[in-house]
Amino acid sequence: MDTNLLQQILTAVFVAAAASLVGSFAILKRMALVGD
């Protein structure tokens, strides 16, 4: 397996996980603000 390819895949997975985490946090925050 190519190391460069593996690094790109790992980076993509990390970015996707971080984006989904930030997105869900923003949605929760917005729901909490609306619920107030």
Give this prediction's pTM: 0.64
**Residue-level pLDDT at 7:** 97
36 or 35: which carries more pLDDT confidence? Answer: 35
> How many C-beta neighbours within 10 Å does residue 15 have?
10
Euclidean distance between the first and the last CA atom of the chain, given in angstroms as a whole number: 52
Computed from CA positions of residues 25, 27, 33, 36, in that sequence, does the dihedral angle turn out positive or negative? negative
Share of the chain above pLDDT 70, in %: 94
Q: What proportion of the chain, given as a percentage, has pLDDT over 90? A: 83
pLDDT of residue 20: 98
C-alpha count within 13 angstroms, C-beta hemisphere, residue 13: 6
Helices (H), the chain: 3-35
pLDDT band at 36 (very low <50, low <70, confident <90, very high): low
